[in-house]
């Protein structure tokens, strides 16, 4: 961190194991904010939510809900 921060802005995040998806989404928002792309980060996360919702529905329909 020290060496890199001398030449460029640096973000550093603590790893949290649970809940991983919530942690990932927050870090994605943090990076989006850091690079001035908050709107795009939210757009990507909405697309991810839509896709995972679709997959949950397909799993439930196939009798494999919760997997």
Angstrom CA distances, 24 to 21, 29, 51, stand at: 5, 9, 16
- Alpha-carbon distance 34 to 19, whole Å? 23
Overall average pLDDT of the 12-19 stretch: 80
- 48-60 pLDDT, tens digit per residue, is 999 999 999 999 9
pLDDT value, residue 17? 74
Q: What is the pTM of this model?
A: 0.72
* Cβ within 8 Å of residue 64, ≥6 positions away: none
- Give the angle 16-20-22 at the CA atoms, nearest 5°: 100
Q: Fill in the DSSP letter of residue 36.
A: T
> Is the pLDDT reported for residue 67 higher than 80?
no
pLDDT value, residue 20? 84
- 18-44 pLDDT, tens digit per residue, is 788 888 899 999 999 999 999 999 999
């Amino acid at each position: 961190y020290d060496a890199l921060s001398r030449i460029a802005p640096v973000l550093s995040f603590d790893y949290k194991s649970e809940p991983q998806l919530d942690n990932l989404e927050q870090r994605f928002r943090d990076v989006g904010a850091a690079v001035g792309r908050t709107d795009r980060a939210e757009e990507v996360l909405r697309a991810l939510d839509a896709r995972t919702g679709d997959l949950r529905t397909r799993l439930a329909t196939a009798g494999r809900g919760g997997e």
